[in-house]
Amino acid sequence: MSQTSKSPGKSQVGSGQVSVVVENKEDDVNFDVVELIKTVVADLMYNSFDAVRIRKGLYDLLTFRQIIVLVSAYCQIGNNVNKANRPKVIKQHPEVVTYLSKSGTTLARVGSAFAALVYHIRKNLKDKFQVRVKNCNTPFEFQDPALAPYHQDGRDFYNRFSILIGSTNSKTDYFELARANLDEHTKDFLTKSFDDVIKGIKDRTY
């Protein structure tokens, strides 16, 4: 059942000879109480990773070029967007910060949402990336948090990388959690060519 809140345009608050006129805010007048409650409750649900939903949001908020820039940046700097402007890079890319702010999410989520593109970038530009963990059973192309769950030997990279970044105290096995929720679109696009992945992003079928 829907309820509507109505209130007068202004009210007086005070005692004795002091009186303060308080103008009511616009959003305090004529709003659907039930719909507001539903909206706030839904919006504040736990935001677990959903690749399909994240891709849709990115497609709605960013251009094709901006998505490519963010995925490329993720491949090189991981989740720390500030590294795009650090002095030690060959050339700074301040637009990465702008695009990420516009996207409303993190670089890690962008990379995970488009993991098939991350795969092709790592595969084709191996000489541009440092080896994160040595003597790892996970193939180099899959040595990334966004990709490791998609490979049968991904656990080795996950365990070694967790130690490297000091993230071994969690009781949650995030690798198994990711393995149990692999994105079907990414699984499909991992079997496709680089050109097919780019086309899939451009026409939004990925």
pLDDT digits (tens, 9 = 90+) for 105-145: 999 999 999 999 999 999 999 999 988 888 899 999 999 99
pLDDT of residue 185: 96
Region of 75 on the Ramachandran plot (φ > 0 left; ψ -120 to 50 alpha; else beta): alpha
Tell me which DSSP letter residue 65 carries. Answer: H
- Token couple for 91: 């050339």
Helix axes 51-61, 95-103, angle to 10 degrees: 120
Q: Kindly give, in sequence order, each residue whose CB lies less than 8 Å from that of residue 145, ignoring residues fewer than 6 positions away.
A: 108, 111, 112, 158, 161
Alpha-carbon separation of residue 152 from 103, 137, 176 (angstroms): 32, 10, 12
Longest CA span, the chain: 81
Weakly modelled stretches of the chain, pLDDT under 70: 1-29, 45-48, 167-170
pLDDT of residue 72: 97
pLDDT of residue 39: 83
Of 116, 126, 127, the residue nearest 182 (C-alpha): 116
pLDDT of residue 11: 45
Q: Hunting for tokens 């890079």 — which residue is that? A: 89
Q: Quick check: 75 and 83 in contact, CB under 8 A? A: no
- Token couple for 65: 């070029």
Region of 104 on the Ramachandran plot (φ > 0 left; ψ -120 to 50 alpha; else beta): left
Helix axes 194-202, 115-124, angle to 10 degrees: 140
pLDDT of residue 7: 47
Q: Kindly give, in sequence order, each residue whose CB lies less than 8 Å from that of residue 104, ignoring residues fewer than 6 positions away.
A: 57, 61
